[in-house]
Amino acid sequence: MKNKRTKFLVVTYTPLIKKEGEYYSYSPYVDEMDMWFSFADEYRILSPDSYPTDFLSKPFQSKNIKGYRIPFIAFNSFSRIIKGIVLLPFVIFQIFRAMFWANHIHFRSPGNITLIGAVVQIFFPFKKKSVKYAGNWDPNSKQPLSYRVQKAIFRNTILSKNINVLVYGEWPNETSNVVPFMSATYRESEKQPFKHRDFNGRLKFVFIGAMVVGKRPKLTVQIVQKLLDNGIDAELHMFGDGDLIEEIRELVKHYNLQDRIHIYGNRDKSEIKQCLLDAHFSILPSKSEGWPKAIAEGMFFGAIPISTKISCLPWILDYGKRGILIDEDLNEAFSVILNELRKGNDYLNTMSKKAQDWAQQYTLDRLEQEIKKVVIGD
């Protein structure tokens, strides 16, 4: 007997913008959703059709996408709260309408739209559902109330039936519907053999991330500057754009480090890969992460990760065995890094090898198979 057609609905806060006859959205999200759509017969997206700021966008490769259009809503100012309350009935109507159509409901969480969707899905207990929680699942972390509420609803096996909640990292004492998941950037064919590095010469640090407060690019520059001030030969390559990029450029000028700290803005994946191939360290002292793709990208080629102790990063770095965990305090971070450098070439190459071996488990090929299991089963 022919299997029922998969009618796959995505509920997300990420905007779906139509221009020149094609649908565009945030580039990394597009890359992954094209994989999800490849295992569905029909697919539709419920999301805002506009966004107040520019973002890195690209067109979907998947064709015949249909959208349930809803307005952009936010609740971070008085005027937006009033507007959101006025628009809420229409948003709820559209979510109900979309869920009636689907036989697999997929949430991209966290976000305001997925919070509303988390409530509405309670009325569809027999429909297959999945949640890709892209944020920090750590139950002990400080998060906005809206994030905590949707996490509570999704992990509740009475309110949320027939659902897989896909989270980054392994967390103790979770409900049966919470499943560790992964992300990836590179394919199996892009794996490189392990290459020993010389940690006695100039050290190459790479920062990949948005130039925003949450990623702490300023702290990254200050760490490298402090290493240089203490006689450590180092250089830093920074990829990413954002509100702070000009401030970071001025900071580099202030320290007179233009020959040691290079700021590129957004660049193609292939250019970033080329920079990572001989990097000693990948550094990202974030305030919060879901799956830290930038860290995992560096590890894939043997760059030792340097990261703050947030989200699933202690688990990814095996609590310091395949990377360096630092605090947000500049002096403490510098002290930890310097202590690791003093352990020598063999120690650091062993850490580099452990980082690469772990990261090369997580390829786009494997991600496709994991997505296939969620959408259509084993």
Q: How far apart are CA 322 and CA 314, in angstroms?
A: 10
Q: What pLDDT was estimated at residue 307?
A: 96
pLDDT at 2 > cutoff 50: no
How far apart, in Å, are the Cα atoms of 222 and each of 211, 225, 249, 282, 298? Answer: 14, 5, 12, 15, 20
pLDDT at 82 > cutoff 80: yes
Report whether 50 contacts 29 (CB < 8 A). no
Report whether 355 contacts 302 (CB < 8 A). yes
170-188 pLDDT per residue, tens: 888 899 999 999 899 999 9
Query: Which helix H or strand E contains 69, and what residues bound it?
Result: strand 66-70
Give, as one character, the DSSP assignment of residue 289.
-
How far apart, in Å, are the Cα atoms of 145 and each of 80, 213, 236? Answer: 17, 21, 37
Provide the mean pLDDT of the chain.
93
Burial letters 62-75, b for 16+ CB under 10 A, else e: beebebbebebbee
**250 confidence band (pLDDT: 50, 70, 90):** very high
Q: How far apart are CA 236 and CA 2, in angstroms?
A: 56
Rg, the chain, Cα only: 22
Q: How far apart are CA 325 and CA 309, in angstroms?
A: 6
Query: Which helix H or strand E contains 348, and what residues bound it?
Result: helix 345-359
Q: What pLDDT was estimated at residue 231?
A: 96
193-240 pLDDT per residue, tens: 999 999 999 999 999 999 999 999 999 999 999 999 999 999 999 999
**Six-digit token string for 369:** 């198979």
**288 confidence band (pLDDT: 50, 70, 90):** confident
Helix (H, G, I), strand (E, B) or coil at 296: helix
Residues 311-318, mean pLDDT to the nearest whole number: 92
Provide φ and ψ at 131, rounded to 5°.
-125, 125
Look at residues 17, 35, 33, 36 and name the one whose alpha carbon lies nearest to residue 25: 17
Q: How far apart are CA 14 and CA 6, in angstroms?
A: 22
Q: What pLDDT was estimated at residue 54?
A: 65
**Domains in the chain, ordered, with CATH?**
7-184+364-376 (3.40.50), 188-359 (3.40.50.2000)
